[in-house]
Structure 1
């Protein structure tokens, strides 16, 4: 691996850590970067998942003020995210490689659409919150199962996992979105961590790639926690969609 490629991976990790902490689509930065330097798709996905774990933990620490008082909620939602992540990781490993090649472009497009539709989702969440009575602390009855399904998605690929989590919790839980964003970082860390443990045991991991992403993601997560809310929302969304288009092109070309 050349010095330029090392720098590119670290910078992609910084960007992913920042974006994951604020919005949740960082894989759309790191994944195409790894494809561009020639890392095979499944190895890139596995190594990326492991590398982003420290960044997710760093982001959760950065949102520790928003997480205050949410431990009862975490007790209900964390196991759902962890169980889903195990299923997703196993699916990645047992399904044919051709299945990953067929599914990932669809997931990238889905991630981009969720980024574009984010403002409408947020508006719908706000209307829904205004119309309903207060939900239990852990959310409606269907909140934990949907968090579990999001964990399946996160264990398999994970791009825009954070946006899906925010949409699910924002509709199902009566709380401030910034507090839910803190919980999103915890659930993302759990999903990445659990799937990462599965990958460490049975998958082909490029440990140098994972380390470089981890270094960048930890730094980026703190940047996101400190300054991410100041970024213009439209500019951030446009950047993520651009990266998604590049990811889709790189994946299909490869």
Structure 2
């Protein structure tokens, strides 16, 4: 690996860290760079998951104020993603990828549609809820189940997992989008931590790529959190949808 290649991975890690803490499609940038530099796809995928752990750490530190506002939801989402990531990482290592990967871009596009339509869907749900029902600041069984499925996908591949989590929380709760963005970043960290631990034990990794991604992504993750907490809700929603469509196009 040349010095230019190493610089490209370092820059990809920094950019992926920013994307992780803002729109949640970090792998859209870092994974293609690793593959383009000749790293086999499965090795690149596993190395990418491990290398982006610092991005989640940096982003979560940057969002620490928002994450304290709804501790119960934060705990449920982290647990769902940790458990789901075990299943997803196991699927990646044990099963052929072709069938699941064929569905991935459609899942991302569905999540994009849900995020984009969330204001109208939430308004419709509000009109049909009982008048005595207050704001939905807790996780229902259905929302928890979909968060778990998002964790499975995050452990398996991860590109667009942040978009999916935003869709799940934006539709299943009435929580502020800044908190949703913060907990989405923490959810991606949980997925990468658990899946990464499995990959370190049983998968082939390109450790030079892991280290370079880690060095770049920690600063990018923190900077992304500073940017993300200042994004107006409408701008954040448009950015998530745009990034998700790009992720789906890449997967196609």
Which residue in 1 is equivalent to 2:28?
A: 28
Q: Is 2:104–2:251's contact at 8 Å kept on the other side of the alignment?
A: no
Which residue in 1 is equivalent to 2:193?
A: 193
Residues 7/111 of structure 1: CA separation in 2 closer, same or farther (3 Å cut): farther
Q: Which whole-Å CA distance do the structure 2 matches of 1:121 and 1:30 have between them?
A: 29
Cα shift at 1:124: 2.9
Cα shift at 1:94: 0.5
Q: Is 1:35–1:44's contact at 8 Å kept on the other side of the alignment?
A: yes
Q: Which whole-Å CA distance do the structure 1 matches of 2:2 and 2:80 have between them?
A: 40
Q: Which whole-Å CA distance do the structure 1 matches of 2:127 and 2:51 have between them?
A: 39
Q: Is 1:151–1:191's contact at 8 Å kept on the other side of the alignment?
A: yes
Q: Is 1:28–1:240's contact at 8 Å kept on the other side of the alignment?
A: no
Residues 52/105 of structure 1: CA separation in 2 closer, same or farther (3 Å cut): farther
Residues 130/8 of structure 1: CA separation in 2 closer, same or farther (3 Å cut): farther
Structure 2: gaps of 5 or more residues: none
Show the 5 A alignment for 1:1-254: 1-95=1-95, 99-101=96-98, 103-104=100-101, 106-108=103-105, 110-111=107-108, 114-115=111-112, 118-121=115-118, 123-125=120-122, 127-128=124-125, 132=129, 133-134=133-134, 137-228=137-228, 229=230, 238=242, 241-242=245-246, 245=249, 247-248=250-251
Cα shift at 1:24: 0.6
Q: Using the TM superposition, name which of 151-160 and 220-229 deviates more.
A: 220-229
| SS of 1:142 mapped into structure 2 | helix
The number of residues matched between the two structures is 245
Cα shift at 1:182: 1.1
Q: Which whole-Å CA distance do the structure 1 matches of 2:117 and 2:192 have between them?
A: 27
Q: Is 2:170–2:177's contact at 8 Å kept on the other side of the alignment?
A: yes
Residues 195/72 of structure 1: CA separation in 2 closer, same or farther (3 Å cut): same
Cα shift at 1:73: 2.1
TM-score between the two structures when normalised by the length of structure 2: 0.85
Q: Is 1:15–1:29's contact at 8 Å kept on the other side of the alignment?
A: yes
Structure 1: gaps of 5 or more residues: 250-254
Residues 239/165 of structure 1: CA separation in 2 closer, same or farther (3 Å cut): closer
Q: Is 1:28–1:108's contact at 8 Å kept on the other side of the alignment?
A: no
Q: Which whole-Å CA distance do the structure 2 matches of 1:175 and 1:63 have between them?
A: 15
